[in-house]
Structure 1
Amino acid sequence: MTTTSTEANRAYFDKLASEYEAKPWQKAMSSMITRNIHERRDWLGLADNPEQKEVRLLDYACGTGLVSRALWPRITASRGIDLSTNMVQVFNSRAESAGLTPEQMNAVQGDLLSKEEQPHLSDPSLFNFDVAAVGLGFHHFEDVIEATKQLAARLKPGGVFFIVDFVNDREREVPHGWQGVITINGFNESGMRKLFEEAGLVDFGFSVFDEQAEMYFNDQKQLRTVFMAKGMRPLQ
């Protein structure tokens, strides 16, 4: 059964998709995050790939494809999954506009945490990834442990899972008006380490961005610290 939070997020991002990253602060934050992901590609184990060796990414809660674009061309294929049909359409439209084929970059609508059967998410093409990622999506998830387990299971042995999200460096309440859309208002290193270990991932890493994200909630400016956390599916 679909939860209230899931439906709230689906409706919110369906409405937002057409104007996502349209505001100056949104564009600035996306550029900052893209730059920081790009700078950490070696840290993720994504070496230069001049010979275009196959490297496949699962971009979950993919939105418009920020993570996929930040890792290109170190990856050779990206498969996105998102709750929002409208976000999926924008993801695919941007990939096409960049001259990429559906075989190179494509997204589908879906929810790995749904209790309802979704046969299309069992397609073999949505397994055995070299990398899986969630960019600024974890704070929307109701069950981050199950999400991590589900994504880790879609990696090949030795594959890397990483997230980008906000540091919870002090007690923060969910901003007024965002209850039901935001579930957890940030994370810390020890919590991330425990979460990744519970999902069976090893070689944990945690990296905080030097730059802060400038955001606006109800026209009120907030500065948030952003991090990347990574873990690897064991080789055996």
Structure 2
Amino acid sequence: MKTLEFEYNYKVKFDNEIDQHQFQLRCIPRDGTHQKVLDIHYEITPKTKVTRIPDGFGNPTYVGSCLDAHSVFIFHVKGKMITSNIPLNDSHTCYPIYKYFTKLTEPSDAIKKFAKENTLDTDEKTAWNLMHKINEHMHYVPGSTDNTTTAANAFQSKKGVCQDYAHILISALRYLHIPARYVAGMMIGEGATHAWVDAYVKDHFIHLDPTNNCEADEKYIKLSHGRDFNDCILDKGLFNFTGQCHQDMEVYVKVNEI
């Protein structure tokens, strides 16, 4: 068990003033099976009220509006968490939706062959083995993919980032009828947000980080989970502007053990 302090700072600069800005944020952690919130503080610039609602996957989602003209939007959250390898509660529900493919996780013939070749005698051993084999197969290359890159395309090119590693593992697991979900969050030493996979074996989830080829353990803080990246977008919004408006986005993440 660890006590972690974290900081998440999201900043968007617009080259022109915008208004009627509607935003949706999933970057505040909540209590879960392996984590407990001790303290949370957040600030929004421009100042505005937010409403917390759960999305369809149970992720706390903060929605709000900045109606007046502004050229900078900042969301800053910091807090403290207890994290553990041992479940802190008995909630291990796995919904059927995590069995089905999405556009981003539809397996290619190559992924199907890869999954079958690396199947072991239990689902749990298979999940761990697939994580190791994907880490061997892939090369971490920032900027080589984007948010629309599918598991099939990333697997074929053998390069990508944490999002792609997670999508490939999910694709292979679901092909073998092992439910799996995409997780977005933070971890010690990363400096940015990270993605990993929860695989459901027997009656519980195991937490796999194929990018780092290890368990997503008490050094990790979950922010959201879903079927794939699209269900776990941490920050997005719409705004009003006539003409062209360019955005410059910065995300800073820091996680330390206390």
**Structure with the greater relative contact order (CA < 8 A, sep ≥ 6): 1 or 2?**
2
Which one has a larger percent strand, Structure 1 or Structure 2? Answer: 2
Q: For the pair shown, which has the larger CA radius of gyration, 1 or 2?
A: 2
TM-score above 0.5, yes or no: no
Report the TM-score, using the length of structure 2 for normalisation: 0.25
